[in-house]
Amino acid sequence: MKNQVKITLMLFVLFLSLPVLAVAAEYKVIRVVDGDTIVIDYNGKPEKVRLLCVNTPESVHPDKKQNVPMGKGASRYAKKRLSGKYVDLEFEGNRTRGKYRRLLSYVFVDGENLNLELVRQGLSPYYTKYGLSENYDRDFREAERFARHHRLNIWGSTESAAKYFRLKSKWGQKQSEAKRGAPSYQPIAKSDAVQYAASRKSNSFHRASCGYVMRIKPENLIYFGSRQEAINSGYIPCSVCHP
C-alpha cells in the first residue's frame, strides 16, 4: 500500500514537471480583404470574417470615392499582422454571423486581440453601431482614448478625423436622421481650439477633460471651440466640471 502511494506521488510530481505546451491557433488566414475583413480556412472551406467593434477606413469599396490612403494603411497593417498566420476566433454570445453571412468575431493573432490593436493604433474608432462590446467594452474605450491622446492615424488631426466621419456619415445614424441633417460627428482633438464637448443626445456641454466626455459614444460626440459657441448652440454648462 505504501509503495502504491509512493508511486502515485512520484507520477504526480513528474506530471507537474512536464512543460506546458501552447495550444496552436486553429484557423489559417487565406487572405486579408481590408483592415477589418479577412478570409480564413474555417472547417475546411473559405469563410469571410468581419472583425467586431471596428470599422476601418475603406480601401476596396466599390464606390471608389470611399477609398482613402488611410484605408490602405489599415489594410497593410492587417496584412503585416496576419499574412501566413493562424488565428483564433472569439464570438460574442450566440450571434456568430451578420446579415451578409460573414462570421462576426474577435480575431486573435499571436495571442493578441487584433480588433483592439486596430483601435489602439487609431485605424478605427470603437465601432458601436451594433452595440457595445460585451466582452471588451472597457478595453476598447481605453484603446480609443490612447489613440486620441497620441493623435494616431484617424485622430492625427481634426481634418483627418472629420474626413473619416464624413465618409462614414451613416455610421450609427438612422437614414431619417441623415436626411434631416443631423449634426456631423466630430471627435475631440487635443488642441487649443477644442476645449468643450457635448453629446448630441444631451443638453449639457463639458470641458474636454471632463470624465463624462469619455462616456459619450463616438457617433454622438460633438465639440466646440469656445464656451459661447456651446451656449449659442443651445447647451448648458455641466454641473460637475463647470465649463
The set of catalytic residues is 50, 58, 102
β 103-109/112-113 pair status: antiparallel
Q: Which residues pair with 224 in a beta bridge?
A: 196
Sheet strands side by side (includes 221-224): 221-224, 196-199, 204-207, 236-237
CA–CA dist 154, 238 (Å, integer): 28
Residue in the structure block whose three cell numbers are 454571423: 97
Residues 6 or more apart in contact with residue 21 via CB below 8 angstroms: none
The C-alpha torsion from 135 through 136 and 137 to 142, rounded to 10°, is 170
